[in-house]
Amino acid sequence: MNEELKQDTSQKAPERTLLIAQLLFREKPAEVSVEELKKAVEEIIGETELVYDSPNAPFFALKDYRAAFQKEEGREYNSDVDNGDGTVSVPILANFILCEEFKPIDDPMITSQFWDYTGDINEFKYHTSVFGMLSGSMGYKKEAELFLKEIEVAVKCFPTAECIYIPHSGKLTSIEHFKAGIGESLAVRFIRTAVNARFFRAEDTDDFVVDTLGFFALGAPEVQMHFHGLEPNSVVSYVYSIASYQFDGEFPVKPYDTVDGLDENGDISQAIQWSARYEDALIQPIRTVLDINCGEYASGNRE
């Protein structure tokens, strides 16, 4: 990436945000009926009930995915929602917005970081959106699992879609890339679909930054390395590996823990230990990252 980018240091990521995916089309997709969509939801996600019958924005209540809330004193609840422990549960809503015009993206901080699909995103003219209302209350793994299933439903129902774009992370992937990940672990699938590893070079230096963007939507920390003298592609793979380890293990790395580092061949080695700590990201949007101090290869002031 040779384009000079200007940071907006006032840009701060929210503590968490709604997971939304957009399927992109060059031409307006064929209409999909609510009945067809409901059938796909039941095949991929499970038993459901249509609760908002809009032809362009139907909502489905999901029996197997539920949000729990504290009971309100003095209010009566149906037996099917009262958990008996002071909480009540309601179904998560799977939401689909079936066709809208896709607005061009001209922010180079976003467009310079498309790696899995290198075509022009602004060639796409329409998009379908998917998201789950109340899903953030389930815990991040169930939320991620449902998000991927919702995307799978949309991919099944809209075969002319070419790409998936995740607005909160700037991740752009092909439909083929998404399908190839089906069957992988939840961590791998979520990261390859919704978490972007970005790559930046500090102006007039040989210092680089690789960071992830996407975990903040789950209320979780990203991963970052500020370095020199390492092969950048190896660092990108490494950062993705640490991100997967964090996701799988409920984000187990504590401040100033050590993690396995990279050897001279760019392979992860237990013989090399790098320290890690949590801090604000170097690159916008400002958010919490697990910064890995890669020893002799580390760049920047780490006092």
* Whole-structure pTM value: 0.92
Q: How far apart are CA 167 and CA 213, in angstroms?
A: 11
Least confident of 6-10, 15-19, 78-82: 78-82
Q: 215: pLDDT confidence band, cut at 50, 70 and 90? A: very high
Q: What is the pLDDT of residue 193?
A: 98
Domain ranges of the chain: 21-70+81-184, 196-297
- The model's pLDDT over 12-34, given as tens digits with 9 standing for 90+, comes to 998 889 999 999 999 999 999 99
- At residue 76's C-alpha, the angle toward residues 73 and 79, to 5°, is 125
Q: How far apart are CA 143 and CA 137, in angstroms?
A: 8
- The model's pLDDT over 114-124, given as tens digits with 9 standing for 90+, comes to 999 989 999 99
Q: How far apart are CA 224 and CA 239, in angstroms?
A: 7
Looking at the predicted structure, is the pLDDT value of residue 84 above 80? no
Looking at the predicted structure, is the pLDDT value of residue 303 above 70? no
Cα dihedral 78→83→86→91 (10° resolution): -70
Count other Cβ atoms within 10 Å, centred on residue 24: 21
Tokens describing residue 136: 């953030």
Region class of 179: left (phi > 0), else alpha (psi between -120 and 50), else beta:
alpha
Count other Cβ atoms within 10 Å, centred on residue 18: 16
> What are the two backbone dihedrals, phi and then psi, of residue 148, each rounded to the nearest 5 degrees?
-65, -35
Q: What percent of the chain has pLDDT over 70?
A: 95
Please give the average per-residue pLDDT across 238-258, as a whole number: 97
Q: 78: pLDDT confidence band, cut at 50, 70 and 90? A: low
Q: 151: pLDDT confidence band, cut at 50, 70 and 90? A: very high
Q: What is the pLDDT of residue 1?
A: 47
Q: What is the pLDDT of residue 70?
A: 81
Q: What is the pLDDT of residue 137?
A: 86
Instruction: Decide: residue 157, CB within 10 A, 0-12 exposed, 13-18 middle, 19+ buried.
Output: buried
